[in-house]
Chain A
């Protein structure tokens, strides 16, 4: 009979999914919170951010290839141009009265949020099922 049970790796795989999707939710929430930020920490207009997901390389365990889930490679700035809005009284307005605002679309962010939430919940279901399967296997012959 072939080696180890794959259920423990399965839980690690799903955890990586939970981590990645919750990072994604954080970044999305941050985009929404900063939709009106004309001057960020770096003195520039806030730039929308995105997470970069990548599949983790398979690991070799006991001579078998075991998948390893997902990882967040990084958080990158979206390079779309900021919007120019006419607000002459604004403290960050340029000499012509225009303010640079982040080009953040709440609908786009909410769609990302829903997608991340759904994936998060699916990963939770996987962990639950792994627990059930492991408990069942342990109880055989008890």
Chain B
């Protein structure tokens, strides 16, 4: 698999992981003491891509971290429904973009194979 496709698949996987973490935040929006978590994978992924290290990309596993900057309410919960939904939409867009580019790559590959 070429480097671009590997990168795009890694982005897809990271977006899916982030979606699960944001889903967990929302499921626990009313759980006392629950602190929101996130998956800040973009910086780490950028580094892996720029470093050109193929192995780093193949083994890239996005980290799930507690968000220490989120404001905590009286019941100890730090989830804001608006924030989660906003992050989720961002994440969805990135996922869509990666999927679309991957799709068009496969389209071109199929056409090349068919000799078009």
Name the distance in Å between A56's Cβ and chain B's nearest Cβ. 9
Question: Which residues of B sit under 8 angstroms from A110, Cβ to Cβ?
Answer: none
Interface pair B28/A140, CB less than 8 Å apart:
no
CB contact list, B12-70 vs A, under 8 A: 12-13, 15-17, 19-24, 26-32, 34, 37, 58-62, 64
Interface residue count for A (Cβ, 8 Å)? Answer: 41
Query: With A2-B60, A126-B22, A129-B92 given, is the CB distance from A67 to B103 under 8 Å?
Result: no
Bound-state CA distance A11–B84 (Å) is 16
Interface pair B95/A133, CB less than 8 Å apart:
yes
Interface pair A6/B19, CB less than 8 Å apart:
yes
Bound-state CA distance A13–B111 (Å) is 40
CB contact list, A109-142 vs B, under 8 A: 115-116, 118-119, 122-123, 125-126, 129-130, 132-133, 136-137, 139-141
**B interface residues with partner A (beta carbon < 8 Å):** 6, 9-10, 12-13, 15-17, 19-24, 26-32, 34, 37, 58-62, 64, 81, 84-85, 88, 92, 95-96, 99, 102-103, 106-107, 110
